[in-house]
Amino acid sequence: MAGIQTAAWFRVRQWIRFYRRAVTRYQIHSPFVFQLTEAVLEDRRFYYAFGEIEWIRRELLKSDAEADVVDFGTGKNRRRRVSEITRNAASAASQGRMLFRLADWLAPRTILELGTSVGIGTMYLRAGNLLATMISLEGCPQTISVARNNLNTLGLDRRTELVDGPFEETLIPALEKLVSPDMVYIDGNHRKDPALQYFETCLQYANNSTVFIFDDIHWSRDMEDAWSVIKNHPRVTLTVDLYDISLAFVNPAFREKQHFSIVPARWKFWLLM
């Protein structure tokens, strides 16, 4: 109980710290970051795909089905309800909408996701860019079959390959297949060393347009530490922290390394004045 309270308190503190340092579109001078903010954070249009994916989420949350879930921390299998997996592991709707807009605005030709779970993030990315070739990796066979079913239901399975197996075995073959991913969503293992290891492996295949998306970097001290290492990495030239997701760019055209934490303008409305 004390551990849960400490973790919850840590997240509240991190949120306050993030909010205090965050800027809005009115303080951004970089044209690229300004346009990214407009497209990903300030665009409030509702696409029909959002409704469809959230309908799938509601069905999963109502489901009585169970699955044997592989716990990658302990290596043991646990019987869990699909509803519980969806509640605990799937991207939130607000985060999904950001993934959709990123995939739409950046128009990557290839997308790699580490950690499919029941496919909520996969569907948002896929729906945001129907032309990209996408591979999503998931080590739990029963969870990936739920994701497969969801993508088929919405007709989002074309050009999307869901690969079953531990990242340690599937990551390099997926990178070789994609040749060089334009977008990498790292949402598999929220611990510092594995997250950094996946980042370094993907970095070897990155091109100048590659964007790395990290989930929940404010979730724990471990992930915050991983984010600091990523920010200071010599190949990273720009980072944009949107709290729920955080982006690292490796394009050498961003000559001066910059780090942004950004909130929607309405969250700091007085900065308009």
Ligand X SMILES: C[S@@+](CC[C@H](N)C(=O)[O-])C[C@H]1O[C@@H](n2cnc3c(N)ncnc32)[C@H](O)[C@@H]1O
For ligand X, the binding residues (CB under 6 A) are 72, 89-91, 113, 115, 117, 120-121, 137-140, 143, 166-167, 187-189
Identify which of residues 133 and 189 has a Cβ nearer to ligand X in the complex: 189
Q: Residue 259 is inside which H or E element, if any?
A: strand 258-261
Give strand pairing partners of 246: 214, 241
Cβ at position 137, least distance to ligand X in Å: 6
Identify which of residues 108 and 121 has a Cβ nearer to ligand X in the complex: 121
Identify which of residues 34 and 219 has a Cβ nearer to ligand X in the complex: 219
137: exposed, middle or buried (C-beta count within 10 Å: 0-12, 13-18, 19+)?
A: buried
Cβ at position 48, least distance to ligand X in Å: 20
Angle between helices 141-153 and 120-128 (to 10 degrees): 40
CA pair distance 239, 247, nearest whole angstrom: 5
Identify which of residues 37 and 86 has a Cβ nearer to ligand X in the complex: 86
Using Cβ positions, the residue closest to ligand X within the complex turns out to be: 121
- Torsion sign (Cα): 13, 15, 232, 246: positive
Identify which of residues 88 and 204 has a Cβ nearer to ligand X in the complex: 88
Cβ at position 89, least distance to ligand X in Å: 4
Cβ at position 96, least distance to ligand X in Å: 7
90: exposed, middle or buried (C-beta count within 10 Å: 0-12, 13-18, 19+)?
A: buried
CA pair distance 135, 177, nearest whole angstrom: 9
Direct distance between the N- and C-terminal alpha carbons of the chain, in angstroms, rounded to an integer: 44
Matching residue, tokens 């309405």: 266
Identify which of residues 170 and 251 has a Cβ nearer to ligand X in the complex: 170
Quick one: tokens of 267? 């969250």
Cβ at position 164, least distance to ligand X in Å: 9
Cβ at position 255, least distance to ligand X in Å: 33
